[in-house]
Amino acid sequence: MVGIMILHVSANPAVPAIYVFGDSTADVGTNNYLAECGAKVNFPHHGIDYPGSKPTGRFSNGYNSIDFLAQFLGFEESPPPFLYLLRKDKKNFMRNVLNGANFASGGAGLLGITGKRPYKRVISVAEQVQQFAKVRNAYTKLLGNQAEDRLSKSLFLISVGSNDIFEYFLYNQTQIKSENFISTLLYSYEYHLRGLLRLGAKRLGIVSVTPIGCCPIIRIRSENEECSDTMNAFAKKFNLGLEALLKKLSTEGAKPMKYSIAKSYDMTLSVLNDPLSYNFKDGKSACCGNGGRLNAEERCKPDSKVCKDRNALLFWDQFHPTEVAFKLAAMALYGGGDQHIAPMNISQLAILKF
């Protein structure tokens, strides 16, 4: 696959392996292997700033936050898609998954139905956890009794939830009342997390939901190009519930899991409120689009207009940040203080003894 390579490890990475779950904010090419999937970005102008200007399947003009976190931890970039390792490199599958795998799928969500209406085929978080079970089996075959120890030292990164909320407002195909919807999402999240914990996960890095009501695609629905306060309220409520869930899980068992949760909403809101302070000239428009309102009336395509200074815009397309914005977030997650991530940052989580 164009732009995908096996993960190269430095002499002393901070963790033995990285396993990634979630949606387009973490996807590095999973959807390229789904024939019926309508959420693919393996074409220009995506990847224009990736090494070699290759469209890898990342929803970005270059790297995403998971790539940068992996680099900070001593890897070259995010581990490759699980489906790539499974289908394209079967002979070395068991050896390669020891360094990590990326299960994230653009358009996916916590609910099994999320992504199916707009994109037909995506890999839900439930299916991603099932895929990881195959990795766990490979661990056992290769490492035996050492498998549990290696997995306990590995890092599990999860970025999901936005698509569920997006689709609730756009389609509401779940028919769930608004007051029950967030509870349903959190119940699903807990179910998936417990599945990972049973399979050996111990260190969880969680990316919470940003002010999704401020994405360009949502702003152009407003006459004054304002954020959707209702969507943002859902995001905040979801994040509060997620924080409580993680605290609960971290107190269970003789050797409970440890976690870091990014305060993505507050971090992003500070940039939206004062983009110039973060060296962004524009915090509303999409860099790649058709030139309509906020350049966001159509998705980024090969014939789209692309801004020249991609470091000056917060958003790459209708939904996703630019590479420089992804990097800014990753820096806060890796080494930030309590205002960015709690109860510890990713660098602390990686080396924590327990």
Question: How far is the CA of 266 from the CAs of 93, 209, 211, in angstroms?
Answer: 39, 10, 8
Which one from 45, 46, 192, 320 is the annotated catalytic residue? 320
User: Under 8 Å CB-to-CB from 31, ≥6 apart: which residues?
Assistant: 37, 39, 40, 41, 42, 57, 105, 106, 107, 122
Question: How far is the CA of 228 from the CAs of 215, 217, 221, 314, in angstroms?
Answer: 9, 11, 9, 18
Rounded distance between C-alpha atoms, residue 287 and residue 280, angstroms: 12
Rounded distance between C-alpha atoms, residue 67 and residue 43, angstroms: 19
At residue 32, the 3 state secondary structure works out as: helix
Taking alpha carbons only, the member of 281, 290, 191, 181 closest to residue 231 is: 181
Which one from 164, 317, 340, 347 is the annotated catalytic residue? 317
Which one from 24, 78, 159, 188 is the annotated catalytic residue? 24
Residue 67 annotated among the catalytic residues of the structure: no
Cβ(82)–Cβ(67) below 8 Å = no
Cβ(330)–Cβ(265) below 8 Å = no
Rounded distance between C-alpha atoms, residue 149 and residue 141, angstroms: 14
The one-letter amino acid code at 197 reads: L
Neighbours of 69 (CB within 10 A): 29
- Terminal Cα distance for the chain, rounded: 39
Which sign does the torsion angle of CA 60, 343, 17, 110 carry?
negative
Cβ(74)–Cβ(7) below 8 Å = no
Q: Is the peptide bond before 192 cis (omega within 30 degrees of 0)?
A: no
Residue 228 annotated among the catalytic residues of the structure: no
Q: Over the Cα atoms of the chain, what is R_g?
A: 19
Residue 45 annotated among the catalytic residues of the structure: no
Phi, psi (rounded to 5 degrees) for 306: -120, 135
Query: Which amino acids are annotated catalytic?
Result: 24, 317, 320
